[in-house]
A and B are shown apart, each in its own frame.
Chain A
Amino acid sequence: MEEERGETPKGEAPSSGYSRRDLGRLAGLSALALAAPLIVTNQSPSTHVPKPGGWHSSDILVIGSGFAGVFAALEAVRHGMTVTLVDKGTVGWSGLSPWASDSRPFDPSIYDRKEWIDNLAINTEWLFDRKWMDIFLDESMEIFDILERWGCHAVRPFERSTVFRRLLEDAGVTLVERVMVTSLLQDGAGRVNGALGFTYDDSQEPCAPVRFAARAVISCAGAGAYKSPGFPNWGQTFDGDALAYEAGAWITGKEFHDTHPTFSKNPAASYDGWRWAQTVKGAYVMVGPPEPLMGGLTLGNAINVSHGRLMRVPGGGPGGEPPPEPGVPRKPSPHEIANRNYVGKGFLARSDLTLDFGGPPEDGSVPEQGFRVGGATAGMGVHKGEGVYCSDYSCGAAGVPGLYAAGDALGSMLCGPLYPGRGFASFGSAIQGRRAARSAVEYVRKAPAARIDRAALDRKIEALFAPRTRKEGFSPAWVTQVLRNTMTPLHILYIKDPRRLDGALASIEYLRSRVVPHMVAGDGHQLRVAIEAQNMLLNAEMKLRAGLFRTESRGTHFREDYPFRDDANWFCLVVMRKGEDGMVLEKRPLPDAWRPPAAMAYRQRYPRVWPGEDAQLQSRGIA
């Protein structure tokens, strides 16, 4: 490899904080392919906890600058608020926003509202939130028109960063970028009134704490995955859930999972699977209503594989024929085929739009992909299905005054416990960002000025920087690898059994209680990786506990010991919060009016068949 100072990787990776010996007597970067070392010596421990810079003070603090955060910040400014927007990365580049390209605005001049709702009910196994969906159907065209006006449809998805930045700067939003927020500040009454973060890029200055004071905080910090193998989750590590959980909020939706595929050859090459979505110019407007039984993103293929039926479906990413599912008599509709093939104008419901797919890959090659394999998003939930629980559609975190959430940070169940079709995510985020801002504005007008608990803040700063000052301990990279290898396999999160969930839980609990307190970080980047590992482990425990708690199967939650939908006991959400002795889990029933009609036979309500379901239904007398 060419060694050109300042441009090519440095063989010793000196700034990683690992010694040369720790990296396994490496000769060049190839040795990094070895597993991360367990115990490392901190080559550059900090001798002191760094002093924070000044305060960023504003009426409202928004965390995250994707669709939700941008809409939240602009809406708050429109109502006369001062706004600070902090992002772990850079406006428009972090989170899912740099590649989100599907849109499914509900145009009442084309579509039938009842058909959408009825189809969603079947596909989401009745668990989607009908009121949130009503809000989506009412407001999504407006969002489409705003994005059109801003010029978002004239640029590629990652180029929206320029559009977003211009809008935010023109509105006078204070931007704080490349700062990871690690905890929320609260006053004596539990009101959220600020946040603590840190700068991880220490190439100019040592990493340091950053403090925010605000009368309300809106978390638009997105979703997460376990540094996903093959899906564009990138920097997302459930940071919003962790912030809210530690502040006392209820978190919901953790028993359900995303099941996007990648491919067997180079599964981590996410761009090769999602190239079209990152480079297309224009907006995809999905054709037709959401399908009542969309194939491909259910647990069907996982179940097949789990029963030894190895389906070799060529190609990864979206498109192509989805793998067959057991027991589902279905034919794809013409709309589904049009949407799957996304070819030029055939894909568009609106004739005034054009799409530019940008031609073949830049270098003219088509990567060899091998076969479709599952779990590209290990750890990720369903868009809008998991996150901060809100009981009243205000986007406010139940029980935590001053904290709001929107987008994938909010567990709104907008479109159910499994992927009901493309195009809901970014519009849902925009709608909820705006709504969260309106609620926060109303709250701020009555809220007292922020009174910061200085002693608590000092303790948080010390805890945050503890890995930097430790001289020896566990490597965050090792913790991340063990987490991924514990949670990713088919038989833990996807095909569930209480003994396997308990086994994984014991391992995750061990990591949380005995390893995390001894992680070391040699620099700002390592500190970020350590905190991300901590947040991912918290999510893993939530997912395992929620999976154990819901003793039925529904959506993308499949329990081999309860392979049937149990409407009598489980027509509800599962919520969890931090208790004195660990996680507390409870049910939150959904309105009776949202239940499947009593006259509808079981198999009409639930056309997908779980293995072992019919025998269970028979023995329980459910028809």
Chain B
Amino acid sequence: MPVSQIRGCIGCGNCVKACPPDVLRLDNATGKAFIAYPEDCQICHLCRLSCPVDAIELTPDQHVPPIVSWG
């Protein structure tokens, strides 16, 4: 899976703003970030790079493995 885990979130919302394909959201109840749409993650790591407490983990595989063109 791509963005796989958020541990120790402080609820700053940086990752939600940084994520280009809208994978992450803030939970209304807890005020913390959660992975709402993991199938749309493009493994760009901007969430992780924007996180001030290094709470986000990613893996390099996508839910639906993409086909490539050649090679």
Contacts and interface: CB of A to CB of B under 8 A. Distances in A.
Nearest to A15: B36
Interface in B56-71: 58, 60-71
A528 B22 contact: yes
Interface stretch (A199-207, A388-396, A599-607): A199-207
Interface stretch (A111-119, A300-308, A403-411): A300-308
A234 B21 contact: yes
A203 B38 contact: no
Given A229-B67, A235-B21, A270 B43 contact: yes
A32 B63 contact: yes
Given A158-B46, A269-B43, A301-B71, A203 B66 contact: no
A528 B40 CA distance: 12
Nearest to A5: B30
A574 B17 CA distance: 38
Interface in A155-190: 156, 158, 161, 177-178
B46 A98 contact: yes
B1 A29 contact: yes
A374 B68 contact: yes
Contacts of A264: 68, 71
Task: Name the interface size band of chain B.
Answer: 35 or more
B50 A158 contact: yes
A103 interface: no
A93 B17 contact: yes
Interface in A507-528: 525, 528
Contacts of A313: 71
Interface in A115-165: 156, 158, 161
Dominant SS at the A interface? Answer: loop
Contacts of A16: 37, 39
Contact of B64 (A35, A178, A204, A272): A35
Contacts of A232: 42, 44
A544 interface: no
B20 A201 contact: no
A272 B7 CA distance: 22
A378 B69 contact: yes
B34 A268 contact: no
B49 interface: yes
Interface in B19-53: 19-22, 25-40, 42-46, 49-50
B25 A203 contact: yes
A233 B30 CA distance: 31
Contacts of A158: 18, 46, 49-50
A485 interface: yes
Contacts of B68: 229-230, 262, 264, 267, 373-376, 488
B70 A272 contact: no
A485 to B, nearest CB: 6
Interface string A467-481: 000000000010001
A143 B27 CA distance: 41
A229 B44 CA distance: 11
Nearest to A369: B60
Contacts of B39: 13, 16, 32, 36, 477
A489 B71 CA distance: 11
A6 B27 contact: yes
A92 to B, nearest CB: 9
Given A158-B50, A266-B61, A270-B44, A2 B66 contact: no
A435 interface: no
Contacts of B26: 203
A10 B34 contact: yes
A90 to B, nearest CB: 4
A268 B62 contact: yes
Nearest to A269: B60
Q: Which of B4, B33, B40, B46 has the most CB of A within 10 A?
A: B46
Given A9-B35, A94-B20, A376-B68, A268 B42 contact: yes
A488 B71 contact: no
A37 to B, nearest CB: 12
Contacts of B32: 6-7
B37 A525 contact: yes
A6 B34 contact: yes
Given A36-B39, A494-B70, A529-B40, 15 more contacts: A4-B7, A10-B34, A16-B39, A93-B18, A95-B20, A158-B46, A227-B21, A228-B42, A234-B46, A264-B71, A268-B65, A270-B44, A271-B44, A374-B70, A376-B68
Question: Which 4 interchain pairs have the tightest Cβ spacing?
Answer: A375-B69, A229-B66, A6-B30, A373-B71
21 contacts: A4-B7, A9-B35, A9-B38, A30-B1, A32-B64, A36-B64, A93-B18, A93-B50, A158-B50, A227-B21, A234-B20, A268-B65, A272-B60, A278-B49, A374-B70, A375-B68, A375-B69, A477-B39, A481-B64, A494-B70, A529-B40
